[in-house]
Chains A and B, each alone.
Chain A
Amino acid sequence: MSTPYYTPTDKVPLPPSDAEVLTTACDYCIVACGYKVFRWPLGREGGSKAHQNAFGKNFPVNALEEWVAPNQHNIVMHKGRRHHVIVLPDKQTKAVNFDGDSSVRGGTIAQKCYNPNTPTRDRLQTPLMRIHDILMPVTWDLALDVAAEMARYVIKTHGANAYSVKTYSYQFIENTYAITKFARRHINTAAFTFHDTPSDVTSTPGFRDTGFDNFGAAYSDWANAETLLICGTDPYETKTIVFTQHIKPAIEKGQKVIMLNPRETAGAAYIKKMGGLHLDLYPGTDNLVVNAIARIIVENGWEDSEWIKKWANNKWETDSGFGQGTRNTPWQWRTTWGKFQSKGFEDWKKWVTSQKEYELDYASRMSGVDPAKIQKAAEWLAKPVNGKRPKTSIGIEKGFYWSNNTGNTEAIGALGVIVGAGGRPGQMVSRFGGHQRGGQGGGKYPRNKSPEKVPGRRRRALDTDRWLYSGHTRMAHVIGTTWIQSMCGSQGLQKKFHELTLVNPHQVRSFNKQEVIDTLKKRVDSGGMVVINQDIYLVDPIGSKFSDIVFPAATWGEEDFMRANGERRLRLYQKFYDPPGDAKPDWWIIAQLAKRMGFDGFDWENANDVAEEAARFSRGGRKDFNMIKVDAHAKGITLHERMRQLGTDGIQGPVHRMNGQLVGTVRLHDTTKKLPETGAMGANMFNKKTTHFNSQTGKCNIMKSPWSIFSDFWEWMQPKGDELWVTNGRINEIWQSGFDDQERRPYITQRWPENFVEIHPDDAAKRGIKSGDRVMIYSNRVPVHKDTILGVKGNDFQFASLLKNGHIKLDKGSVTGIAFVTPAIKKGVLYSNFLDKRQPSNAIQARVVDWISGNYNYKMGVGKIVRLGGSVYQRDLHSFSFAPRNII
């Protein structure tokens, strides 16, 4: 772990002119900027004259040129020999990060590499097994044999659903393909889900119903919009280069930006300074604001009638949607109650203009947003000026879709359609994105095996947290995620893990393989649970406290991997140094387990083998890369080698091959795009989403988004007495990189040595809290949906019904943090980093899933705050800063 004392240096080695140069992309946020790695053996350095260094530049260099900050240098092992590496944003790339721009996270990514002289020294290097309650290093064979035997036993004795797999969704195509092939196709467990949700469900139900792909837009669409609506995120902080290289230059040329966000972040402050609008709403009220905007638009007749006529489904076309699949489709159960489905634009218009909660006064009062700003937003989004409509794009992210998941995403889908966005250059609707897109399914989720049913007797993907709470999980396989702190009401979940593992009397106290297995079998048969964990560091508590076996994983830079970014741009992330010790990539670990369990199809020799097998399963998807493989084989090289040739520019999926050339897809749903008259020749595949929308007819559905599915929960949650809203989220310097940044990158540890709590000056004064004080947020009102139940009647899963019928338990949660008094947070709201493992603010958040979709509404929490005392950060000026982040 890193200490908060970063010691700066005043010189840095330059790569000599003959240094090797490899390409990669950043490991962290969705944007995936292109990077170059300069590598050369220890013992010499390049000079400051142009001919003496690999950049061909005289030092000192000018602004925006190839400067090397000390945090961009590291020393690694390559083929067993020490090498210098410098990891720099690629100044020559033609995609994504023009000018070689980078965020603070990617800009210092060289510090991620394993180097025993840095805080990365605690990388896992050998398999570990808990014996005598100590995680002891063991051989791969022993660890794998025990894990595979236990997996076989649990599945045979307690059923496949007793084997729960919780995995990242993003950490490279090769790994996710192997993991999903293993878990979903072969084990075929319904107790499977990804790192950010208790069940394997869509993140944006409203997008799916409307017909929008999550990542249809190209980054150029954000730049080419005349009005840009940003909901629930500040791209400056969490999609930095999308902001600095695509949106900021557009703002400078007059783009109007509207941002929905309870905080005035650095990007929001800049947007305001440039004349944009910041709609500073209370958590969970987005649905009211968005529909109030939509209502103003249609009341004034500003909707894009031509677009709606051509691209929105009418009654008959929407009804034909019911023919799009068998019962059990998410579409089916979300729409058949008539709560969401409309009979086309006029019916939806009637609905939105007749709901009293979307009257401007009401929406403004509940959301705390100035009505004039809501009115102005509606004008900017849709009011024609001199007969010309504005080109409008809409981007959303977690602050929006994790506060009222179904209600907000359905609302934004309808708003998108009526302003004419979704299917033209500069007029798109997408997620901005969180993690990179490294998911590739190797097997289908077995929804029919899930015991969870929503009203209407339709099955829903299993809530793996509730499943575990209820004692059904006998073996938990956790891959590259904390599981516990990243879920809601996390302290209750932690208690349950403790009870099922450490408190169980059957603990391993022998090195004998058979005795180990016999003990663990007794544990699972007595209602306990075995935990296996794959990760790069020992994670507290899932690895350090609860795991029986820990497998050391190799990661970014330690293996060749493929992945796509938020505009579906595929790149090869090249291996440039040796993984530490005996660490292995996750696909390899999975293959070893699978083979021992008797599964076929896991005989891969290397990562390229996995990628080539995955290619055919990517067909029809948004990052279809099958034709890259076809092209590679036509050239007599491998898929990975072909990807290597594409460098940092990569290529946007779905990828086609025309006349022997690879052709990427700039945007999905591109209604202006002309496909070749010959159709899809050879192995090419043109999915409907290339030129149309994801619905039965290829047109958009205009969906209703009733506030009432959420309002009972929101009203129950609303702060009472001395309570405040407690919400959380990401922050620029720590963003999808917490395991590196916050814990092992000294400079970032210095900036944020602990979790912080943003509190408005008025709320702070009332409680005697000053910046730098150590505070505690606590709540006795953490609602927990405690049982896995069957919903029968229409409203059985509605929060008020759950409460009435005794399915909600009130839990407690408390976390400490360092107060940061700032007017940048809305009065009445507290905000902290969502995932600081030591101070996990998710402990306060409601453990009640969105009852339509099954996602957590992570942003919704309520609690009290109390000052515990001062802190060292008030005296020691090395760490933290309490200056406002919204200075302009």
Chain B
Amino acid sequence: MKSLETKSTETGEKCKISRRQFLFYSGAAITTTTVMLNIPGTARAQEAVFATYPRMWIGNMSDLKTDQPLTFNYPDNGPHSISMLIKLGTKAGGGVGKKEDVAAFNTVCTHQGGPLLGTYNAEHKTLGQCPFHLTTYDLTRYGIIVSGQAYQSLPQILLEVEGDKIFAVGVMGLIFGRNNNLIG
């Protein structure tokens, strides 16, 4: 739980920390804004993983404009942490907000580490083609590959909403270049 000492705690949202601790230790079914996979039998393991990530304020709902990505670094400022927050305007797997259309992703291609920032396609809600080997990802479907050579989906940054504030609270999937997301 070392990462709780980082930027996220500066927001002073103690009740949220408690809630994540609750998720970590309980195993109750999750139906809150914590997002993610409603996979029978796997929820517990997933939550345990998420609970180790820093909680970081990354933007405000009121500042988001449809199809205009905001960039941020997560879970740290180390290599390959460059990520984007996007209001897709259409419901997304893992999306937050009233329309469940706000999502965030790491932007380093999970094939060979190509840069994807700037390749957002507003019409189809995709990221890519990666300039290296042409992979594309579907941001409405948990970052799954649309076409291409990547070995997994784009890592999705898990979000929580507190009033107008959006917090990054975890990463679903290994970030390119790392052997552990929390060692940057």
Contact = CB atoms under 8 A, between A and B. Distances in A.
A10 B181 contact: yes
A883 interface: yes
Given A877-B140, A884-B124, A887-B126, A12 B174 contact: yes
A48 B177 contact: no
A63 B142 contact: no
Interface string A35-65: 0000000000000100000000001111111
Contact of A885 (B42, B45, B92, B147): B147
A14 B179 contact: yes
A888 interface: yes
B65 interface: no
B126 A99 contact: no
A880 B147 CA distance: 11
A7 B46 CA distance: 9
Contact of B172 (A8, A59, A63, A240): A8
Contacts of A63: 108, 112-115, 132, 176-177
A549 B49 CA distance: 46
B79 interface: yes
B173 A64 contact: no
B78 interface: yes
Contacts of A7: 37, 39, 42, 45-46
Contact of A8 (B126, B173, B177): B173
A349 interface: no
Contact of A751 (B115, B144, B177): B144
B18 interface: no
Contacts of B136: 266, 883, 885, 887
Given A60-B78, A99-B112, A9 B145 contact: no
B46 A883 contact: no
A234 to B, nearest CB: 10
B129 interface: yes
A878 interface: yes
Contacts of B46: 7
Contact of B129 (A59, A70, A888): A888
Interface in A730-756: 732-733, 747, 750-751
Interface string B95-137: 0000000000000101111110000010011101100111010
Contacts of B42: 5, 7
A535 interface: no
Contacts of A99: 112
B174 A881 contact: no
A237 B134 CA distance: 11
B184 to A, nearest CB: 6
Contact of A104 (B80, B114, B145, B184): B145
Contacts of A67: 112-113, 176-178
B47 interface: no
B113 A64 contact: yes
A108 B151 contact: yes
A248 B177 CA distance: 24
B138 A881 contact: yes
Contacts, number: 168
Interface string A680-721: 000000000000000000000000000000000000000000
B151 A883 contact: no
A244 interface: yes
Interface string A95-108: 00001011110011
B13 to A, nearest CB: 23
A107 B149 contact: yes
Given A67-B113, A877-B92, A878-B141, A104 B149 contact: yes
A13 B49 CA distance: 16
A5 B37 contact: yes
B52 to A, nearest CB: 9
Interface in B6-60: 37, 39, 42, 45-46, 49
Interface string A227-255: 00000000011001000100010000000
A732 B152 CA distance: 14
A71 interface: yes
Q: Is the interface of B mostly helix, strand, loop or mixed?
A: loop
B137 to A, nearest CB: 9
A750 B39 CA distance: 13
A60 B113 CA distance: 11
In which size bucket is the chain B interface?
A: 35 or more
Nearest to A750: B144
Contacts of A103: 149
B1 interface: no
B105 to A, nearest CB: 13
B171 interface: yes
Contact of B151 (A48, A72, A267, A270): A72
A11 B151 contact: no
A60 B151 contact: no
A878 B142 contact: yes
Given A8-B172, A266-B147, A877 B142 contact: yes
Contacts of A880: 141
Contact of B141 (A10, A13, A877): A877
Contacts of A732: 147-149
B153 interface: yes
Nearest to A104: B149
B148 A107 contact: no
A877 B93 contact: yes
B78 to A, nearest CB: 7
Interface in A406-463: none
Interface in A748-768: 750-751
B174 A9 contact: yes
Interface string B141-180: 1101111111111010000000000000001111111111
A831 to B, nearest CB: 14
A877 B126 CA distance: 14
A101 B148 CA distance: 13
24 contacts: A5-B42, A48-B183, A60-B177, A63-B132, A65-B113, A65-B177, A71-B151, A72-B151, A101-B133, A103-B149, A104-B149, A236-B134, A266-B134, A270-B129, A747-B153, A877-B91, A877-B141, A881-B146, A883-B125, A884-B146, A885-B136, A885-B147, A887-B121, A887-B136
**Which 3 pairs of residues, A with B, have the shortest CB-CB distance?**
A63-B113, A877-B93, A8-B173
Interface of B: 37, 39, 42, 45-46, 49, 78-80, 91-93, 108, 110-115, 121, 124-126, 128-129, 132-134, 136, 138, 140-142, 144-153, 155, 171-184
Given A11-B179, A60-B79, A240-B133, 15 more contacts: A9-B49, A10-B171, A62-B177, A63-B108, A67-B112, A67-B113, A67-B176, A70-B152, A244-B134, A266-B136, A732-B147, A750-B144, A751-B145, A878-B142, A888-B129
